[in-house]
Amino acid sequence: MSSESTLFRCNLCFMCGREISATCQNVLKTDELRSLYMRRVSHSEALSLSASIREADYDLCRYDAEITRLRRTLKTLEAQRANLALQRGHRKALVS
């Protein structure tokens, strides 16, 4: 089983530099994964897979939290935009 560790980074905002990153460890090739299904997993492989699952769970929670934060931000921006468009419309009606 390969035990490579890869760090993925994603820039969320180019203005403030906010980013999110996740570590993808123990990336299994298709043939390696298939071979694990065909035999009993060793204790060390089970420990490695369990650690990888815990790490993925942690990263998924971080992504979920960031997505929730971004949705709230987007909702706020959309409400502010709608309010500005409404005020613009009222002002435009006054000068028409």
Tell me how many degrees the CA angle 66-68-51 measures, rounded to the nearest 5: 50
How much is the pTM? 0.64
pLDDT digits (tens, 9 = 90+) for 12-45: 777 777 787 776 655 666 677 667 776 787 888 8
Give the whole-angstrom CA distance, residue 82 versus residue 89. Answer: 10
Tokens, residue 27: 């990336």
- Average pLDDT, integer, range 58-73: 91
b/e 48-75 (16+ beta carbons within 10 angstroms → b): beeebeebeeebeeeeeeeeeeeeeeee
Could you state, in order of their start, the residue ranges of all structural domains in the chain?
5-95
